[in-house]
Amino acid sequence: MGALRQRRERDNISVTANTTTPILGRRRSSGSTISKLVLRIGTLVMIVAVPMLYNMPTPDLQTSSAQKQKNDVTVKKDTNDASSEYESPKRKGGEAKTNQEASEPSIAWEIMPAADHMDATIAELKPATLCACAKCGTTSLWEELFAIVEGKSFMSMNYTGPPFISKLSNRKLWTNIEAKRRTDWSNFKDQDSFALIRDPKERIVSAWKSKVTCDTDEEIPGHRMFVPRLLKLAGPSSNMTARTDKGFPCLDLSDYLAVLSQIHAQGREGSLNEHFLPQHLGCFKDVPPSMWTVVTTISGPNALCSLKSVVSKSANMSNTDDGCQIMIKTHNYTRNVDLSRADEDILDRITIKEYEMLRKYLDA
């Protein structure tokens, strides 16, 4: 019996082996097929995906590199020379920046006769570009412009801002013109243009006297705004601090000039507020003065007639000298303040580029 049981157990093992082997064999065949299928799918995915993964980052890297180069150029323009007549051979030849080059709005206004209504005054207006540096007599300029384009005096409006008269895009005040900051200079030559300038040294001292001076017992609006900004732009390395003994921050003239000197030395003059911004980085950042129809000071004998000729169809440039009145006579602040030799040296140094660009217009 024991022998018979052992034989039956061997037979069962044999049957089990015979019936299992083909099953195992089929499993191996199925697994191999699946593996081959997976391999083929993986191969197809790699064929499609690898080129995509290889090519996709490339434009981004190129764009990033190009953008970095563009940003580097922009920073270089803003922090170094940035003078329209000095920064490129193209503008040395008397050409304006294209729209791509002048991507940031300038301080210049492009004005058009209003299109939403029409009257006799509007019919006499024409498109023009106007620009005036802060502390150059701009309030007087805009008041004269208001009388020309609106047909009435600004004083008769009893208007108080903000927005102030200098914001030409304020349609509640400037009803006969539409104005925007100019960004596209491609059609600049197609319109007449007017730029207001001032002696650079007089302007710098005037800005100190009206915005940050300590020679007053009463706080003026610029004290708490402009003094901290100037010191921040100069940076901690300047070791300059404001006076506060009068209850508000202020700067003595020598300290003010020293702060400006530090800012210029670091190439940051392009970041100055418009009241302190050098004129070659303002109206003439994108277009040199030689391309403007009129470049004049507010006290120029033909300034008012020239302004009329630029914005009005009926006025003409030949009506000058005898038929013009002076808009306003600016004050020569440099004659009314005590400047040390060091102060004069700083003024000479930080205004040299402005005088190189504007001297012949100042002497006119």
Q: Which of 363, 362, 361, 334 is nearest to 348 (CA)?
A: 334
* Average pLDDT over every residue of 127-145: 96
User: Residue 257, Cβ neighbours under 10 Å: how many?
Assistant: 24
Q: Which two tokens stand for residue 15?
A: 């049957």
pLDDT bucket at 106, cuts 50 / 70 / 90: confident
pTM reported for the whole predicted model? 0.70
The region of weakest confidence among 23-32, 39-48, 349-358 is 23-32
Q: Which two tokens stand for residue 128?
A: 């023009």
At 39 the pLDDT is 67
User: Residue 279, Cβ neighbours under 10 Å: how many?
Assistant: 26
* Average pLDDT over every residue of 149-154: 95
* Average pLDDT over every residue of 325-341: 70
DSSP secondary structure code for residue 281 in this structure: G
Contact 42, 50 (CB under 8 A): no
At 75 the pLDDT is 32
* Average pLDDT over every residue of 309-330: 68
pLDDT one-digit tens code per residue, 31-83: 566 666 656 776 666 665 545 544 444 344 343 444 444 444 333 333 333 33
At 277 the pLDDT is 98
Given a cut of 50, is residue 27 above it in pLDDT?
no
Contact 198, 297 (CB under 8 A): yes
For the chain, what is the mean pLDDT? 79
At 245 the pLDDT is 96
At 28 the pLDDT is 45
At 53 the pLDDT is 47
3-state SS string for 284-303: CCCCCHHHCCEEEECCCCCH
* Average pLDDT over every residue of 265-276: 97
3-state SS string for 228-251: HHHHHHHCHHHCCCCECCCCCCEE
Q: Which two tokens stand for residue 127?
A: 């498109």
